[in-house]
Structure 1
Amino acid sequence: MESRRDFLKAAGVAGAAALTGTAGCLGSFGEQAYGDGTVQFMMSPSEPQNYMMKQYGPMRDYIDSEIGDSADVELQYAADYSAVLQGLGSGSADIAETGPFAAALGVKADKAEIALQRHAYGSWTYTSVIVTRKDSDIESLSDLKGKRVAFADMTSASGSLYPLYMLQDAGLEIGEAPVSDNGADFTGTWSGHAEAFKALQDGQVEAAGVGKFITQGDDGYVEGIEPIIDYKKEYGKGIPRAPMVVSPELSDSEKESLVSALKDAPEDAYLGKDGEGDTDDDLWFDGVRPAKLEDYQPVIDVANKLNLSTDLLDSA
């Protein structure tokens, strides 16, 4: 199928260089900063909208304070990863948090530039899992033949790309996934991490392929849920944690200043609406570092093994 071919073939594809320079105060741009005087910060739909608004509110306020009177910062909640990239590519969004695979697709399509990588839970990597309910009779991936499996957004690394890779590596046919489940050994549905996990909890599907972060409870997994496979444990390596990306429509000084502000964000910008640590509205990450496309080569390699292409953006 042509739409699944010729992704990022060269390991050294030139991506956006890490934007580490300092352009002084963000307010130095004057009235024409960021085009319409507004910095649009777009959030990917990894969790429910009201939850993410509380998480990112203090970070928005911090960036807004750095900008001063030259622009206001607004948060946008995207319908899916494709909407994030379309916003960045058109200039209607200026900076965004998104997934590794979506970011790589965005760079290849000239819709985004990777600027920063996020750090969380003591690591620069994370993992993907395929989980089921404890009361099911599913013990291995081969047991998912003929079963219903929910995934996150089709361009999500941990919620689509890596679960499909693990299924394929276990000998299951994935057919045209993630565009559709035609030719697959399972019935697949694609939505978001939270939606896919809830579908499993509600008994609408027999398994879910998601980022492990959405499955976490007080003692490991949420009560009643157990893993079939954990990518990091099975393959001995993690997935590079998700990046923050900027619009190629911004000027170099605008990009550099936004990235510099995020690099220097104080601890309280990560603490969520209540301003207290270790509560439910904390941001899931606690720091960032400069990054570029090459840092996400492991994700690109998995995409190539699945024969995925940038045409996937047009299907999302």
Structure 2
Amino acid sequence: MHLLLQKIHKKTFLSLAVILAVFTLCCTVSESNRATSEQESLDSKDNKQKLKIGVLPTQSHTEQQRMIKPLDEYLEKALGRQVSFQIAKDYKEVVDWLVEEKVDMAYVGAVSYFEALERGAEVEPLVAPIDKYTGRPWYRAAIIVNKNSPIKTLQDLKGKRVAFVSKSSTSGYLMPLAALTKQGIKPEYDFTQVIFPGTHAKTEAMLEDGLVDAVATNIPSYIKRQKIGKLAPANSRVIWESAPVPHSPMLVSKKLPPELIKELKRAFLNTPAGMEDIVGTQAAGYTLVVASDYAPIEQLRIQLNLNSQGAK
């Protein structure tokens, strides 16, 4: 009887040991699978959440990074996802990013918006900043000269050195060119030198350094320059201002989920008061914009033969 009980206990112990081993193995596999699944989920979430935003270069890289930081932090909190801002080296690069779908959104000028469309980018305007000084989502292009310059009118620019921002700049080229053309002035023939520094800040600096006689820029950028102790009414003046120009749009890919686009609209419309716009505008928040808001700019490009068809 004693031997029988020992055999029974031994078999029971062996059975329990086997059951325990199988249970432990199952738990280990389950935990491993769950950990893998959770990691894959986190990786997928990170990839899905990261929002890439391209930005047109308008100021020095350091200054623009400073301006971007508050909006970056705000958007990450408002959207609950990672946001990555990328400052383009020039106007063309930010358009390239949109066309090649390397960014989900981009802050560009109106001209760059149409250049992107012509190259096949599937984008649409989302919002634009409200100018602090006009109270509207528009601003004015301008041509600035030194305070003591003999230049009084656009005609006086003939034979002078003039700096435009870029051929892709709305206020730094398109609008001034339209005004000059209307007066029969052709920069390539009538100016002794035409320069394209690439950003508003670099363009304005050329006037400060005496390298040119006049610069094409815009009023918001001119005001910003004054705030950092550079161009000021004491040493510079405006000889020409344009009609209202629709502000630079924040473009969004049409391929983004509709719900995310709605979240983005809500986030921009509720930006904290006093937040500086990321391209230099003294902004008073953002407002929704649509493609038709920029139709006048495209019509002007066609009139000046600057669209892709006219350029061929």
TM-score (ref. length: structure 1): 0.74
Counterpart residue number, 1:117? 128
Q: The residue matched to 1:166 in structure 2 has which SS?
A: helix
User: Aligned residue for 2:98?
Assistant: 88
Can you list the C-alpha shifts for 1:88-133, whole angstroms capped at 9, x where unaligned?
2222212222212212322343323211122012222210111111
Q: Does 1 or 2 have the higher relative contact order (CA < 8 Å, sep 6+)?
A: 1
Distance 1:33 1:106, change over 3 A: farther
User: Which amino acid letter does the alignment assign opposite residue 249 of structure 2?
Assistant: P
The change in CA–CA distance for 1:38 and 1:165 in structure 2 (over 3 A counts) is: same
Q: Secondary structure at the match of 2:302?
A: helix
Greater fraction helix: 2
The residue type paired with residue 106 of structure 2 is A
Distance 1:312 1:210, change over 3 A: farther
TM-score by length of 2: 0.75
CA distance in 1, matches of 2:251, 2:234: 35
Matched, 1:290 2:300: no
Counterpart position of 1:73:
83
Q: Which residue does the alignment assign to 1:261?
A: 267
Q: Deviations over 1:234-271 (max 9, x none)?
A: xxxx1112211113443333333323322232336x15
Determine the C-alpha separation between the residues in 2 that align with 1:312 and 1:93: 28
Checking the alignment, whether the CA contact within 8 Å between 1:127 and 1:231 is kept in structure 2 is yes
Aligned position for 2:297: 299
Does the CA contact (< 8 Å) of 2:277 and 2:283 recur in 1? no
Q: Does the 8 Å contact 1:55/1:283 carry over to 2?
A: no
From 225, 229, 236, the equivalent of 2:240 is: 229
Shift of 1:295: 0.4
CA shift for structure 1 position 163 = 1.0
2:250 pairs with one of 244, 248, 260 = 244
Q: CA deviation at 1:164?
A: 0.8
**Displacement of 1:272:** 8.4
**Deviation per CA, 1:221-246, whole angstroms, max 9, x where unpaired?**
443111121113xxxxx111221111
Deviation of residue 308 (structure 1)? 0.8
CA distance in 1, matches of 2:43, 2:309: 38
More displaced stretch, 159-168 vs 58-67: 58-67
Q: Structure 1 residues 56 and 102 mapped into 2: Cα distance closer, same or farther (>3 Å)? A: same
Q: Which residue of 1 aligns with 2:60?
A: 48
Q: Is the 8 A contact 1:57 1:272 kept in 2?
A: no
Partner of 2:24: none
CA distance in 1, matches of 2:98, 2:85: 13
Q: List per-residue Cα deviations over 1:39-96 (Å, max 9, x = no partner).
A: 122221112222222222111111111333xx42122111122211211222221222
How many equivalent residue pairs? 264
Partners of 1:88 and 1:246 within 8 A in 2: no
Say which one has the larger Rg.
Answer: 2
Residue number among 195, 204, 210 corresponding to 2:211 in the alignment: 204
Q: Which residue of 1 aligns with 2:30?
A: none
Does the CA-based 8 Å contact 1:215-1:222 persist in structure 2?
Answer: no
C-alpha distance in 2 between matches for 1:167 and 1:300: 18
Partner of 1:9: none
- Cα distance in 2 for residues equivalent to 1:40 and 1:225: 39
Match for 2:114: what amino acid? A
Do the aligned residues in 1 keep the contact of 2:79 with 2:267 (CA within 8 Å)?
no
SS at match of 2:283: coil
